A = this chain, B = another copy of it.
Amino acid sequence: MRIEEGSFVLIVGDGVRSVIRVSRGSKISTIRGVVNADEIIGLEYGSVVRTNLGYELTVLRPMITDILLERGERITQVIYPKDAAQIIVTAGIGPGSRVGEAGVGSGFMTALLAYYVRPNGKVYGYDKREDAIRIARKNLELLGLLEWVELRVGDVVNEGFMERDLDAVILDMGDPWNAIPNATEALRPDGTLVIYVPTVNQVLKVLGALRDGGYVDVRMVDVMVREWKTEPNEVRPQTWINAHTGYLILSRKSARSVKLTK
């Protein structure tokens, strides 16, 4: 597969790691020198190019997480890939899943969900803020994933979700406990509710609300991913890591939740 005008590329080597959108005639600047975009266009992915300072860099197809982390426009804190990965796999979200999400924020989690529900699933993303929805749409278009997402400006606490029988609902908002009754209405009878909160104060409120809402199989985890230095002569964990993002709380709706909601 060859690099085309307009493609995203991930350029790596000698301390360089950045995602660039290739546009004809432009220059790509790195800490190891400059590469002309025109030299890259038409190359096969995986090719090695030389900067004007003589360093060799490799041009790769970026993963969706690379693009999101390096190029996505952000307006809010995002669910980190390490947490998103756990949510997606533990909740069994995959090809064909129908997933609700509030709030969408910059659309990072939305994009990953869209990537994994393809080609026959759908993500329904809500946010109260019009600017969030606008930026999320832009990010999803950038990634070619808008086809699998319905974005809606809306307040799930007061207005609820328009969908029914969803496989999973993900709540990434300050007061998720207030959205639980409407999430219950939107979920399939044994659907999965995923809640992501950063503080233990919120955790206590969520766990109480889940019990009161008839949810079962309540599980909570925090995920720590430690990155390592990989230079063969000096292998060790990185000194500084992001050691806390949020708590992931997964639970399942039951027949009891339905009664309680009505």
Chain A interface residues (CB < 8 Å from chain B) = 1, 10, 12-13, 17, 44-48, 58-61, 63-65, 81-82, 84-86, 88-92, 94-96, 112, 115-116, 118-120, 188-191, 198-201, 203-204, 207-208, 211, 216-228, 230-245, 247, 249, 252-258
Contacts and interface: CB of A to CB of B under 8 A. Distances in A.
Q: For the complex formed by this chain, how many copies does it contain in all?
A: 4
> Which 7 pairs between the two chains have the least Cβ-Cβ distance?
A46-B190, A46-B189, A237-B244, A85-B89, A63-B92, A45-B190, A220-B228
Given A1-B189, A47-B255, A200-B235, 4 more contacts: A65-B92, A85-B86, A94-B116, A199-B235
B85 A216 contact: no
Nearest to A192: B63
Given A85-B85, A112-B89, A226-B224, A232 B244 contact: no
Contacts of A227: 219-221
Contacts of A203: 200, 235
Contact of A230 (B89, B218, B222): B218
Contact of A198 (B96, B236, B253): B236
Contacts of A239: 242-245
Nearest to A199: B236
B86 A217 contact: no
A90 B85 contact: yes
A111 to B, nearest CB: 12
A225 B119 CA distance: 30
A218 B14 CA distance: 11
Contacts of A240: 240-243
Contacts of A88: 85, 89
A230 B225 contact: no
Contact of A225 (B47, B86, B204, B228): B86
Contact of A222 (B95, B226, B231): B226
Given A190-B46, A241-B240, A228 B217 contact: no
Given A64-B92, A226-B224, A188 B1 contact: yes
Contact of A223 (B47, B223, B241, B253): B223
B225 A223 contact: yes
A63 B81 contact: no
Contacts of A216: 12-13, 58, 60
Contacts of A235: 199-201, 203-204, 207, 220
Contacts of A59: 190
Nearest to A56: B256
